[in-house]
Amino acid sequence: MDGTTPLVEARGISKGFFGNPVLKAVDIALHPGRIHALLGENGAGKSTLINLLSGALQPDGGDIRVDGKPVTRLTPQGARAAGVAVVQQELSLAAELSIAENIGLGAAPRRFGLLDYRALRDRAAAASALVGLTEPLEMPVGDLPLGRRQMVEIAKALFREPRVLILDEPTSSLSAHEAGVLSGLVRTLAARGVAVLYISHRLNEVQALCDYVTVLKDGVVTADRSLADVSAEGLVRLMVGRDPGDMFPAFKPAAAGEHLIRVDGFSAGAVYDVAFSARAGEIVGIGGLIGQGQEDFLLGLYGAIPAVASSAAICGVGHLLAGVGAATAAGLAYVPADRKKEGLVLPHTIAANLMLPSLGRLMRHGLRDRRGEAALVADLARQLAIRGDTGRPVQALSGGNQQKVALAKWLPLGPRVLLLNDPTRGVDVGTKREIYLMLRAFADAGKLILLLSSDTPELVHLCDRVAVFREGRVVATLAHGNASEEAIVGAAMGLATKELAA
Amino acid sequence: MKAASISRGLLRNPPLITLALVALVWIVAGLSLRGFAAVGHLRYILELSAIIGIVAAGQTLVILVGGIDLSVGAVITVTAILLPLISPDWDPTGLLGVVLTLAIAAVIGLANAMGQVFLKVPAIIMTLAMATFLQGLLVLIAGGSAVSVTNEAVIWLGSARPFGVPAGIIVWIAVAAAVLTAIHRRPFGARLLALGANPLAARLSGVDVSRTTFAVYALAGLFSGLAGLLVLGMNRQGYVGIGDPYLMTSIAAVVLGGTSILGGRGSYAGTIPGAILLVTTTALITVVNASPGWRSIMFGSLILALLLISGREAQR
């Protein structure tokens, strides 16, 4: 330790949701003037730790110290008073308000009980200048592109003159130039004695910027050390905790089945003029940077958003499917990325969610066959190892088990094509592996799987080939073996547009 | 321990709370107020409850799916005024007029759904606009005068008592059986609840949103029309404004019965005692000869109190 008292420190804190431990006896200390990286896979507990440090959540055990003194109950107000400012991953700006109003929101200077707009302007202008915001301060935030909004978010944190600045994936929506400005700013703040906690998935960025690292894996600290002599590979090993090879079932090339999807000149939403075909038994990866039209591609095939194609054949239907009903009837199933908002009816029971797509299939004398339904639900729960009472609301399950429900509910329909939108996002490592094995088994059983994933290793290890999207088009199709992480990321960034059709 | 778990089970079951409250009020009032417990009086309470209960059947479906129907009062008025005007004289049974009127009521409901499905107008706006539109139309058609009913079928509905049971109550029992079956034993009900709790997830799971919306609002129109015929049969006269009291009471009955106003949770099983509770409260106020102002104050307090007891909205 470098002798200074940490500004904020957590000692042995634990936190669980619905009985699933998310953090187990975690220690972290934020020292003044130090840029501290927090690394971990999705679902490792990073967000929960941030929420505990900023008072948004209360720990189940352990304590949080501010300036070395234990705080019994850290509230968001208390954290703010202690100088903790968080820049969240989900932008928390009011689109209708101006840049200045957003920057000062909740901490705006007052005069005679009214907002002091002149003082607000001056101070907001100072904060904006720090992050390189040149847009007029009266401009509504809703008119700004995503990257600029992120800069407003950071200016908003600086406006509060924080002693501890927590940045949750601040560069994910920033351009290279903006990210450079941010790096400079973070160094300046650290030089002034601010403690910075920096969360990022970009390892080179972390290595260039940060002094110290805490690595979380499955809610446990696996490393807490100086970054001086750690390699990128070493960091990955600390985060993953095992060789990626162990995670994935053995790859098996698909036997050439019949064509289940064949579209030409396909456009839907952000997707423009894509030619694509896939056969039964294949696992086809859909990759690329976030928001390049991959989701619209799946939704368009599923009939959930309007789509056009110059020619199309899907599961024996000679045209695009007109709606979700037609798609499920043809044998397609879609598992959305955001299971809480799109995949599941959270307040309803596990059983009700599992039955939803199959309603009307089990009937007796025109009424729902209760016994048949109960047997089906029990069978699905057993197949997917969803433990416990299926009469519980589905929101009581962990993220991984929720995802299993979102997938399992389609099985009674016997779909031939599974459209999976990032099925392992926010899922713990154990369940991830279960899902991978399931996908392998589905493909072996002759189903076609389109796997959209933001997790590049999945694309590398599971897929027969990977279609990489960029700006609404397929810029590369990489066969298994050619589809290394470097090749996928390179194609996604527009480095090379080579066609290696399988 | 056991008593505690029973009372906790009761609190988790809003229809039972409401039913228990009805029973409590009936017992206390029956013991303390002369004439309250007379068979004729209780039967009259149920007969009035039937009207609210039938309107609220449609309202329950609409609220379960996450919408609201502010046009039920106007539809009641429409049927009560239109039926005498369109019943053909050459049909002595009056059934043709009944069928025509109910069809019009259902079509109004369909129009409500169309506005939502095709024009993407929110339910609250669409049905409010529909109600306002219909009221204007009725003033043009009927003017300010009342129309008397001569339709035999409707008069029978309003006055017949097969085996001593008023026809309105029999109709209500039939409606209740149909609606309860639809909600709990048909796929329709499960789709309704899923749609009300999470429209996006329901749509992506294959629930046909437009078809369900059409069905729900058409049923709401149909049930309001049916209630309108009962009102007309009991009143023997239709006039502009006759349906107005049923708008807020239908919503109140649904909420008193524990159905979430946000949609996705609840049942008609709660609306039934909810409707009876509303009418009973009104009857109590009349029996003790208090100002009708107290009725509204009691309704408001009851709704809030039941909501707080079961914490039903807070659980979401």
Tens of pLDDT along A180-232?
A: 888 898 999 999 999 999 987 677 788 888 999 998 887 888 888 888 887 76
* Buried b or exposed e, range A180-198, using 16+ CB within 10 angstroms: ebbbebbeebbeeebbbbb
Nearest CA in chain B to A407: B205
A193 shares its domain with A299: no
- Domain shared by A52 and A162, yes or no: yes
Q: Which residue has the higher pLDDT, B226 or A488?
A: B226
Hey, which of A57-71, B9-23, B213-227, B247-261 has the most confident mean pLDDT?
B213-227
- Do the beta carbons of residue A458 and residue A240 sit within 8 Å? no
Six-digit token string for A429: 């490592």
> A261 and A321 share a domain?
yes
Residues A382 and A471 in one domain: no
Helix (H, G, I), strand (E, B) or coil at A336: coil
Express as a percent the part of chain A with pLDDT over 90.
30
SS (H, E, C) chain B: CHHHHHHHHHHCCHHHHHHHHHHHHHHHHHHHCCCCCCHHHHHHHHHHHHHHHHHHHHHHHHHHCCCCCCCHHHHHHHHHHHHHHHCCCCCCCCHHHHHHHHHHHHHHHHHHHHHHHHCCCCHHHHHHHHHHHHHHHHHHHHCCCCEECCCHHHHHHHHCCHHHCCHHHHHHHHHHHHHHHHHHHCHHHHHHHHHHHCHHHHHHCCCCHHHHHHHHHHHHHHHHHHHHHHHHHHHCEECCCCCCHHHHHHHHHHHHCCCCCCCCCCCHHHHHHHHHHHHHHHHHHHHCCCCHHHHHHHHHHHHHHHHHHHCCCCCC
Find the residue in A nearest to B200 (Cα). Answer: A342
Packing angle, helices B245-256 and B72-86, rounded to 10: 130
The answer to whether residue A111 is domain-embedded is yes
Per the document, the length of chain B is: 316
Q: Which residue has the higher pLDDT, B227 or A48?
A: B227
Rounded Cα–Cα distance for residues A48 and A14 (Å):
10
**pLDDT tens digits, A108-134:** 777 777 878 888 888 888 888 888 888
Cross-chain Cβ contact A325/B208 below 8 Å: yes
What length does chain A have? 502
Judge whether A3 lies within some domain: no
Whether A356 has its CB under 8 Å from any CB of chain B: the answer is yes
- Among the candidates A387, A412, A437, a domain finishes at A412
With beta carbons under 8 A apart, name residues in chain B contacting A346. Answer: 197-198
DSSP bridge partners of A63: A11
Instruction: For residues A223-251, give the mean pLDDT.
Output: 73
**pLDDT at residue A500 tops 50:** no
Q: Tell whether the model's pLDDT for residue A242 goes beyond 60.
A: no
Closest CA to B274 of B234, B303, B232, B308: B303
Number of domains composing chain A? 3
Q: pLDDT at position A501, please?
A: 40
**Do A117 and A170 fall into the same domain?**
yes
Identify all chain A residues contacting B185, using CB atoms and an 8 Å cutoff.
367-368
- Chain A residues inside the 8 Å CB shell of B201: 336, 341-345
**Which residue in chain B is spatially nearest to A353 when comparing CA positions?**
B194
Instruction: Provide the CATH number for the domain around residue A159.
Output: 3.40.50.300
- pLDDT tier, A240 (very low <50, low <70, confident <90, very high otherwise): low
Residue in chain B lying closest to A355 (CA): B190
Q: How many CB pairs under 8 A join A and B?
A: 69
Within this chain, do residues A97 and A202 fall inside the same structural domain, yes or no?
A: yes
Confidence of residue A135 (pLDDT cuts 50, 70, 90): confident
**Whether the Cβ atoms of residue B246 and residue B81 lie closer than 8 Å to each other:** no
The answer to whether residues A304 and A334 touch, using CB atoms and an 8 Å cutoff, is yes
In a domain, A2, yes or no: no
B264 and A347 within 8 Å at the Cβ level: the answer is: yes
Q: Read off the tokens for A79.
A: 């954290």
Rounded distance between C-alpha atoms, residue A378 and residue A361, angstroms: 16
- CA distance to A258, A263, A304, B175, B296, per residue, from A298 (Å): 20, 12, 9, 43, 53
What letter would DSSP give residue A438? H
> In this predicted structure, what is the pLDDT of residue B112?
96
Question: Comparing A432-436, B30-34, B228-232, B299-303, which segment has the lowest mean pLDDT?
Answer: B299-303
Residue B273 is predicted with a pLDDT of 94
Q: Which residue is listed with tokens 């197949």? A: A383
Residue B108: its pLDDT value, please? 97
Report whether pLDDT(B166) > 90. yes
pLDDT of residue A424: 83
ipTM of model: 0.84
Instruction: Specify if A336 maps to a domain.
Output: no
Residue A341 included in any domain = no
Same domain, residue pair A228 and A265: no
The rounded mean pLDDT for chain A is: 85
- Least confidently predicted of A284-288, A397-401, B147-151: A397-401
What does the pLDDT read at residue B8? 59
The mean pLDDT value for B79-96 works out to 89
Task: Classify residue A390: in a domain, yes or no.
Answer: yes
Write down the pLDDT at residue A103.
87
A302 and A448 fall within a common domain:
yes
Over the stretch B274-289, which tens digit does the pLDDT of each residue have?
999 999 988 888 777 7
Q: Look at the block and give the residue holding tokens 């927590």.
A: A166
Q: Does one domain contain both A57 and A100?
A: yes
Is the Cβ pair A356, B202 closer than 8 Å? yes
- Measure Cα distances from A219 to A21, A29, A86, A268, B210 in Å: 8, 16, 20, 40, 44
Q: How far is CA A29 from its chain centroid?
A: 26
pLDDT digits 0-9 by tens, B113-144:
999 999 999 999 999 999 999 999 988 887 77
What pLDDT, in 10s, does the model give residues B171-229? 999 999 999 999 999 999 999 999 999 999 999 999 999 999 999 999 999 999 999 99
pLDDT at A498: 47
Eight-class DSSP state of A349: B
Specify the 3-state DSSP secondary structure of A382: helix
**Whether residue A259 is found in the same domain as residue A363:** no
Is the per-residue pLDDT at A244 higher than 60? no
- Say if A327 falls within a structural domain: yes
Count the neighbouring beta carbons within 10 Å of the beta carbon of residue B309: 13
Residue A467 has pLDDT above 90, yes or no: yes
Which residue, of A412, A435, A450, is where some domain finishes?
A412
Interface test with B, best of A355, A356, A365, A411 (most B CBs within 10 A): A356
Searching chain A, which residue's CA lies closest to the CA of residue B313? A347
Shortest distance between the Cα of B189 and any Cα of chain A, in A, equals 10
Domains of chain B: 19-310 (1.10.3470)
3-state secondary structure A312-331: EEECCECCCCCCHHHHHHHC
Report the residue of chain A nearest B208, measured CA to CA. A325
Please indicate, yes or no, whether residues A21 and A143 belong to a single structural domain of this protein: yes
State the CB neighbour count (10 A cutoff) for residue A22: 24
Give how far the C-alpha of residue B9 lies from the chain's centroid of Cα atoms, to the nearest Å: 27
- A483 is in which domain, residue-wise? 243-331+415-502
Q: Which of A412, A431, A454 is the last residue of a domain?
A: A412
Judge whether residue A499 has pLDDT over 60: no
Q: Which residue has the higher pLDDT, A499 or A120?
A: A120
Burial A268-292 (b: 16+ CB within 10 A, else e): bbbbeebebebbbbbbbbbbbbeeb
Whether A187 is in a domain gets the answer: yes
* CA–CA gap between residue A501 and residue A492 (Å, rounded): 16
- Report the run of H or E that residue A308 belongs to, with start and end: strand A307-308
The model's pLDDT over A365-398, given as tens digits with 9 standing for 90+, comes to 888 888 999 999 999 988 888 777 888 888 878 7
Question: Rounded to whole angstroms, how far apart are CA atoms A27 and A387?
Answer: 32
Check residue B314 and give its pLDDT.
45
Question: CA-based diameter of chain A, in Å?
Answer: 78
Mean pLDDT, range B151-180, rounded to an integer: 92
Name the B residues in 156-185 with CB < 8 Å from any A CB.
181, 185
Residues A262, A218 within the same domain: no
pLDDT in tens, A313-348: 999 888 999 899 999 999 999 999 888 888 899 989
Contact B193/A at CB under 8 A: yes
- Measure CB to CB from residue B185 to each of A336, A341, A367 and give the nearest one: A367
Is a pLDDT exceeding 50 seen at residue A409?
Answer: yes
Contacts of B178 in chain A (CB under 8 A): none
